[in-house]
């Protein structure tokens, strides 16, 4: 498995939807939680620090994924539901 870097995070943060298709993406943290794009933008300094220092503090993002059809996926930071591509 390829290591997720600060550069990966910054690139993924620039676009909340996959292209092509416009599917909604979200971030996955080291403790298995989901973060919305809004939460990642608001906490990007914490996330970048955690990725750079490999800190397992719940802020270290280890990847970015598409929420295909999970209507029960909620952001661990804000508690808001994360949009799904087909689950609506």
70-88: per-residue pLDDT in tens? 999 999 999 999 999 997 6
What is the per-residue pLDDT for 88?
66
Q: Quick one: pLDDT band at residue 19, thresholds 50, 70, 90?
A: confident
Output the CA–CA distances (angstroms, integers) from residue 40 to 7, 20, 76, in the order listed: 14, 22, 11
24-83: per-residue pLDDT in tens? 999 999 999 999 999 999 999 999 999 999 999 999 999 999 999 999 999 999 999 999
What is the per-residue pLDDT for 20?
83
Q: State whether the Cα torsion 31-36-39-41 is positive or negative.
A: positive
Say what the pTM is.
0.92
Of 77, 4, 5, the C-alpha closest to 42 is 77
Question: Mean pLDDT of all residues in the chain?
Answer: 94
């Amino acid at each position: 498995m390829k290591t997720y870097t600060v550069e990966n995070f910054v690139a993924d943060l620039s676009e909340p939807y996959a292209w092509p298709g416009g599917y909604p993406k979200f971030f996955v943290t080291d403790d298995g939680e989901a973060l919305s794009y809004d939460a990642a933008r608001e906490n990007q300094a914490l996330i970048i620090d955690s990725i750079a220092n490999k800190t397992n503090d719940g802020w270290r993002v280890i990847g970015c994924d598409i929420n295909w059809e999970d209507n029960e996926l909620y952001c661990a930071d804000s508690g808001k539901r994360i949009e799904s591509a087909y689950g609506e």
